[in-house]
Structure 1
Amino acid sequence: MGFSGIAAAVPSNAVPSNAASESSHIAGQIMVKFRDNRAAAGVLRQHGLKEGAGIGSTGAQLIKVPAGKELNLVEALNRNPAVEYAEPDEIATADTDDTFFPRQYALQNDGQSFTNTLNTLTVTAGDNDADVDAVEAWSTTRGRDIRVAIVDSGVANDHEDISQKVVARMNFSGTATGEDKYGHGTHVAGIVAAVAGNGKGVAGVCPECTILDAKVLNDNGSGSSSTIAQGIDWAVANGAQVINMSLGMRVSSRTLETAVNNAWNRGVVLVAAAGNAGTPAQIYPGAYPNVIAVAATDNKDDKASFSSYGAKWVDIAAPGVNVYSTFPNHPFVLGTQNGRAMGYDVASGTSMASPIVAATAALVWSSQADQDKATVRAKVEASAERKAGTETYWANGRVNACKAVAKPLDAGKCP
């Protein structure tokens, strides 16, 4: 299963779904949580199954099952009182739209053509001040040493603007290497923390943040509930203060929500893309209460045509059309599919909006001592700029980094 936009390929043991009648889960495995693990072996033996590996901190196990029997076994196990729940391992995909334009505007603009003095990129704005005022926020903080986890398709090892920012890597995707051969994770990571002031390429919204690279999507941009849960748990264990998930699925997972809640309870702010379906249908993990769900806006500060929406579950918006960022310096799938250049190029989607909000949360973390996850989230959401006509699309406004990090008496200094 996946969002509208790029029709991501899926692993050989998975079945993609674009229709309700098709399977939306990984074939050959399910997730089971027992009320008492001492009963697990006996219960599974009744169905010809064996115990499996634990899924992070969730308490669930990943159980191998015959392909095609996933739903039947889930139903049967859920009837057993020793089982807290059994569920399919749902397919998740990277949340990128195919729209492709030659301009970048998200960090700073004033409705006029603007040259970013921190690098060589010239950006052209729309008719509105539709940016997040990141450059102005940097006078308060640049996010030094705040760890942001990119739970995605990996971050390239060969990029001068982002690779050096990665402080730890882990591959949960089942691919042979942790290298980003899809391209999505590298683009997302650059939006968060690309080096500023080095005379090359782009600057991230949080240019002094560091990156934790949790590869949970394979080389075709597809993963599962269980890999995302494992990535979240690893990120928490490695000191993440913010976790970005520019991915999702249409079906909720108790295992994934448990991983999300565990991370939140351990003090982490979680951010996720709202999806590119262009409808109010909920997308997960974005729709979970302990995640900031992010819709996409364009360079006129309007809702992007592709963006999912709904003020009952989408929390905030950020620029997501034509966002310029890093891509791998080696061949990658998004380049072969869409003609994007190696090194740097633009992409569109709520995948691009989500890391702008995640980076803003990281800036807030670093702006003042003795903050907690609830305070950081509240500042990010309460400082967002509201535009008339968007009230039904998201609960707050479009994110503003300058206002999010400003002290109350200084908020008026932001554009």
Structure 2
Amino acid sequence: MAGTGHRGRAILFAVPLAVVLCAGSFFGASAAEGQGGTSGTQWDSGGREYAPGELVVTYDRGGGVSPEEGLERAVPEAAGPVEVEAELSELGVQRVSLPEVKEMGSEAEREKVMADTVRRLEETPGVASVDYNYYLSYFEGPNDPLFGEQWNLRRIEASAAWRSGEGRGAKVAVVDSGVARHPDLAGKVTAERDFVDGDGRAAEGRVGHGTAVAGVLAARTDNRRGISGTCLDCRMLVAKVGGEEGPELAAAVEGIDWAVRRGAEVINLSFGGPEDYAPLRRVVDAAERRGVLVVVASGNAGGEEVGNPTVYPSAYAVGATDRADQRAPFSSYGPWLDAVAPGVEIAATLPGGAYLPVDGTSFSAPQAAGVAGLMAVEGLSDDQIRRRLSEAARDLGRPGRDNEYGVGLVDAARAVGAR
């Protein structure tokens, strides 16, 4: 029987973090460094930044109540007095300020009052919409301090892709070693489960692998902290399936199944094993039948060694390239490889609020998964996403598809139709 004589543990597809940690000076040690000022800003529950205590209210044309009546009825007592800072009467739009909310000492308290105010205003007859007074983005790139170090996002044309959409509402699952609390991941995890210890939270300990994968995939962007994620507004489902010894086969199968049942549209697997484990193949195949794209890392053996789930036809296998668009020496390859993405010196989040460069196909896969998330919000099927990822890729190596690069380098802008 497949797997007999083995402990049923898979391999994390990353260059050991002990090696990466030696390069800590590349970015600096903690989240506190390079954050920039946060005065005059506040974040909603989804991690998007806005002017504290301010809303933009849009009224129905010919609505049943006047703007003033709507505000008086809806704003909760805890919010204090309301000031209309500006009004565009012909458009039915007001900029509303809540001075007492701005002065609240607790960010959590401010957000609670703001969320309650938004909810009550949205339920008021005559109100068409209510928005926080969000900070929008200049198109020169995110304001995250380490964005300039993220050569990989420039190489896959992520910024151009973001102009077409940010993946808002897409659910991408990270089935890995868990995700640690990190300021650049706050608000990005919508559901989590620990299949190793069974204690609820999928918190990561010293491993760091899952936290790094999550940051590459969907770190908070334009928050003046750290790095930018590939899928700006994706939300993550996190299944912890392993610790320092590696992912457990049984936990991995359970975690993938859980992610599918929780509505994941894309699943990232940055691990694998040397044998064709029947339950792993079965759950990946089942995910594909349910319309979920399973993106997997090709592995770090550096040759044509076969790994699983990398070679499954139901998975989308991604290898690694370097800054010169050459196959990274450690990147496994073969006729089963679908595409490649950058995998050398990739800026990532790590436990303890740190940011460090990491190497490995483990960090190529979440870039492809992030691009898939950008497309998932368009209502595309997993087959359509797979096809667009491949058709949009930039050919590398020998002309046409080849074993070292698959169809080529993931191109986010072309995949989402931005160019």
Tell me, yes or no, whether TM beats 0.5.
Answer: yes
Aligned to 1:344: 355
Using the TM superposition, name which of 384-393 and 224-233 deviates more.
384-393
1:90 and 2:8 are equivalent in the alignment: yes
Aligned to 1:217: 242
Letter in 1 for 2:189: V
Count of residue pairs brought into register by the alignment: 297
Aligned to 1:322: 345
Measured after TM superposition, the shift of residue 173 of structure 1 is 1.8
Any conservation in 2 of the 1:103–1:322 contact (CA below 8 Å)?
A: no
Write out aligned runs for 1:266-305 (5 A): 266-305=290-329
* Among 238, 255, 264, the residue aligned to 2:279: 255
1:147 and 2:171 are equivalent in the alignment: yes
Any conservation in 2 of the 1:119–1:197 contact (CA below 8 Å)?
A: yes
Measured after TM superposition, the shift of residue 118 of structure 1 is 2.3
Aligned to 1:313: 336
- TM-score normalized by structure 1? 0.67
- CA distance in structure 2 between the aligned counterparts of 1:116 and 1:95, rounded to whole angstroms: 30
1:235 and 2:259 are equivalent in the alignment: yes
Aligned to 1:363: 374
- CA distance in structure 1 between the aligned counterparts of 2:169 and 2:8, rounded to whole angstroms: 34
Aligned to 2:390: 381
Any conservation in 1 of the 2:186–2:220 contact (CA below 8 Å)?
A: no
CA 221–141 in structure 1, closer or farther in 2 if over 3 Å, else same:
farther
- TM-score normalized by structure 2? 0.67
Letter in 1 for 2:231: C
Q: Determine helix, strand or coil for the equivalent of 1:91.
A: coil
Letter in 1 for 2:393: A
CA 154–384 in structure 1, closer or farther in 2 if over 3 Å, else same:
same
Can you list the C-alpha shifts for 1:129-178, whole angstroms capped at 9, x where unaligned?
9711111100001100100000000011x211113100001111237663
CA 117–149 in structure 1, closer or farther in 2 if over 3 Å, else same:
closer
Can you list the C-alpha shifts for 1:253-296, whole angstroms capped at 9, x where unaligned?
11111101111111100001110000111111111001001100
User: Please, what is the CA RMSD of the aligned residues?
Assistant: 2.4
- CA distance in structure 2 between the aligned counterparts of 1:209 and 1:125, rounded to whole angstroms: 19
- CA distance in structure 2 between the aligned counterparts of 1:116 and 1:96, rounded to whole angstroms: 28
| Stretches of structure 1 lacking an aligned partner (at least 5 in a row) | 1-23, 26-69, 72-87, 105-114, 330-341
| Stretches of structure 2 lacking an aligned partner (at least 5 in a row) | 28-139
1:168 and 2:86 are equivalent in the alignment: no
* Among 156, 162, 174, the residue aligned to 1:132: 156
- CA distance in structure 1 between the aligned counterparts of 2:188 and 2:150, rounded to whole angstroms: 28
Any conservation in 2 of the 1:380–1:399 contact (CA below 8 Å)?
A: yes
Any conservation in 1 of the 2:153–2:230 contact (CA below 8 Å)?
A: no
Any conservation in 2 of the 1:313–1:394 contact (CA below 8 Å)?
A: no
Can you list the C-alpha shifts for 1:52-107, whole angstroms capped at 9, x where unaligned?
xxxxxxxxxxxxxxxxxx55xxxxxxxxxxxxxxxx66320211114646769xxx
Q: Determine helix, strand or coil for the equivalent of 1:163.
A: coil
Measured after TM superposition, the shift of residue 119 of structure 1 is 1.0
Any conservation in 2 of the 1:148–1:241 contact (CA below 8 Å)?
A: yes
Any conservation in 2 of the 1:274–1:294 contact (CA below 8 Å)?
A: yes
Any conservation in 2 of the 1:90–1:251 contact (CA below 8 Å)?
A: no
Measured after TM superposition, the shift of residue 388 of structure 1 is 3.1
